[in-house]
Structure 1
Amino acid sequence: MDYRLFVAIDLPDAVRDELSVLCRHLERVRWTPQDQFHLTLRFIGRGDGALVRDLCEQLSSLEPDPFSLILAGTGYFPPRGMPNILWAGVQPSDQLKKLYRRVDEALFYCGVKREGRKFAPHITLGRLTGEPHDAVGEWLAGTASFRSSSFDVRSFHLYTSRLTSRGALHTKLASF
């Protein structure tokens, strides 16, 4: 079986509720369903069952210490040019960076190429489908001061993602 894989941190329901308040006031946006909000640590790409087994073995050995996170601010990708993804940011965290590096190392050990770009932790809120730039600017101005409740990170997960006409659907394969 062929999988589309990524490693992510789940968000508590209370934080998902806080994020859902941001997902309004723009018409031509395909908003991420609240139950699909997550913080991607590392996108892997396509892989088979053998890779999933190897990843599970390597990721289960990490055993990171629990830490707390706060989501803060909003923005869009790409950072230059016409925006197409709206996101909520993450307050800087040394523990999150450490977990990212450890996950990246485990993936590399399994034969997954290293990420070519800098780690930019975020939660994807929605994908633009033609919203005028000035409307996005107004949305950003109204959401820039967003700050979530603090939440504990005690685990991370290996997910598979299936692309559909209504967006990606994520299924948890394993927890660590």
Structure 2
Amino acid sequence: MRLFVALDLSAPLRDELALLRGSLPNVQWIPKDNYHLTLRFIGEVTSRAEQEEIDLALGQLSWAPFELSLLGAGLREHTKTDTLIIHIEQNDALTALQSQIEKLLRRAGCDTLKKRFHPHIALGHISSTRREESARWVQAHNLFRSTPMSVQHVTLFESLKGFDQRTYVHQAEYAWHPNMTLVPGEEL
């Protein structure tokens, strides 16, 4: 099972982001149901014991709820395929939450990440040969600013490989306070 920890976006925020799709042809746009803000990629977890260690570690998270906003478009360049992204406004509470997740998962036996945390939301993938067109898309959406989103829980997702897209399945949610239980279907 391929796992990662992320902030699941609210439906109104997903709708807001979905309006940015389609303004550039020949992009593999990510379905809006897959929009999320990755806090920590875990990778393949094959044993039940590893899964339980991860669950126990994430169950120890504790932070004060906070708000975050999305701010401006960008492009993450890669060798063959680039990614159109939306940046996250600088947020010390988000950075502290991600750092806490990293420490707890390392103690649970997860490998140390080699990349620095650069929070963003991926919207689509485009050939790296089309960087000039991508740059125009970034310029057109660089003033994008979302309505603030309240962060009161994090989600453990499983990534399933589909025919042409990945599907992300909720495995567990962890509230801002370890003793708070999340009731499915209830908004905090």
**TM-score normalised to structure 2 length:** 0.87
Q: 1:81/1:140 Cα in 2 relative to 1: closer, same or farther (>3 Å)?
A: farther
Q: Which residue of 1 aligns with 2:5?
A: 7
8 Å contact from structure 1 (residues 5, 45) kept in 2 = yes
Deviation per CA, 1:44-90: give whole Å up to 9, x if none: 11002221111111101112211000001111112x77661111110
RMSD of aligned alpha carbons: 1.5
Q: Which residue of 1 aligns with 2:51?
A: 52
Which amino acid in the other structure matches residue 29 of structure 1?
A: V
SS in 2 for 1:119: coil
Choose the corresponding residue for 1:161, options 144, 159, 170: 159
Q: Which residue of 2 aligns with 1:68?
A: 67
Shift of 1:18: 0.9
SS in 1 for 2:153: coil
Which amino acid in the other structure matches residue 32 of structure 2?
A: Q
Q: Which residue of 1 aligns with 2:85?
A: 87
Q: Structure 1 stretch 45-54 or stretch 86-95: which is displaced more?
A: 45-54
Q: Which residue of 1 aligns with 2:108?
A: 110
8 Å contact from structure 1 (residues 75, 140) kept in 2 = yes
CA distance in 1, matches of 2:29, 2:117: 23
Shift of 1:5: 0.6
8 Å contact from structure 1 (residues 29, 131) kept in 2 = no
Choose the corresponding residue for 1:22, options 5, 17, 20: 20
CA distance in 1, matches of 2:100, 2:57: 10
Which amino acid in the other structure matches residue 28 of structure 1?
A: N
Unaligned stretches of 5+ residues in structure 1: none
Shift of 1:104: 0.2
Deviation per CA, 1:107-154: give whole Å up to 9, x if none: 101111111111000111011146622211111110111100011000
SS in 2 for 1:104: helix
Q: Structure 1 stretch 30-39 or stretch 129-138: which is displaced more?
A: 129-138
Identity among equivalent positions (%) equals 31
CA distance in 1, matches of 2:157, 2:73: 24
8 Å contact from structure 1 (residues 85, 125) kept in 2 = yes
Q: Which residue of 2 aligns with 1:100?
A: 98
CA distance in 1, matches of 2:129, 2:163: 19
CA distance in 2, matches of 1:133, 1:5: 31
Q: Structure 1 stretch 84-93 or stretch 157-166: which is displaced more?
A: 157-166
8 Å contact from structure 2 (residues 81, 128) kept in 1 = no
**TM-score normalised to structure 1 length:** 0.93
Unaligned stretches of 5+ residues in structure 2: 175-188
Which amino acid in the other structure matches residue 61 of structure 1?
A: Q
CA distance in 1, matches of 2:13, 2:24: 21
8 Å contact from structure 1 (residues 76, 83) kept in 2 = no
